[in-house]
A and B are shown apart, each in its own frame.
Chain A
């Protein structure tokens, strides 16, 4: 069975500061890993995905994530936060190309002036 742990249910950063959202996974087989963003009262939008092609994955809106097998981590980063980044972020794992996604509990990102 697979699982995801997101450390920190709420993260607050200043505009222009580094964004770091943490995700650790557990999987018995090589995983597919995803980061999704959810704005209030909306669905989920895919930010980026890890598919074993490269350990550093670049996504939309300036976000990137690094897959570290030794640490079973897939942390999301952005060098400079923008007010529009305020949203809820979910890390997810799956174990095959056609199967359920298992989500973490989410991290709410607040961006302050």
Chain B
């Protein structure tokens, strides 16, 4: 059973460009969470999605950031008009259809560098 997949693993963008980060949850998982890790900091929650629904977006910046988890395909975290402060590692986690104790399985992350 493959783990959580994220791509790309590394992404370089210039200021003002768009970044698209993809996350494929583990097989049988329908809950997806996105977290951001700034240098030398812990992980901060961004958004929680189920198929075609945003459940909790309390950690998402109000502008430029959006997330989706369509019926088919991976979850996408989209950052428009990136700025240097967006440089971070972005992690996706998934949990099963019926979550057990909220155990979340993490992907390897996408490291975004904004030049």
Contacts and interface: CB of A to CB of B under 8 A. Distances in A.
A61 B34 CA distance: 27
Contacts of B4: 43
Interface residues of A, number: 24
B95 A43 contact: no
A45 B93 CA distance: 11
A43 B102 CA distance: 17
Interface residues of B, number: 29
B12 to A, nearest CB: 16
A101 B35 CA distance: 9
Interface in B39-82: 41-45, 48, 55-56, 58-59
B45 A90 contact: no
Most buried by B among A32, A41, A44, A90: A44
Contacts of B102: 32, 94, 96-99, 101
A96 B102 CA distance: 7
Interface of A is mostly: loop
A112 B20 CA distance: 40
B1 interface: no
A101 B104 contact: yes
Interface in A87-113: 90, 94, 96-106
A72 interface: no
A11 B51 CA distance: 41
A34 B106 CA distance: 13
Contacts of B104: 46, 101
A101 B109 contact: no
Nearest to A52: B101
B79 to A, nearest CB: 19
B8 interface: no
A43 B108 contact: yes
A45 B106 CA distance: 7
21 contacts: A36-B106, A42-B109, A43-B4, A43-B109, A44-B43, A45-B106, A46-B103, A49-B103, A97-B100, A98-B48, A98-B102, A99-B48, A99-B56, A100-B56, A100-B59, A101-B33, A101-B43, A101-B104, A102-B45, A103-B44, A105-B41
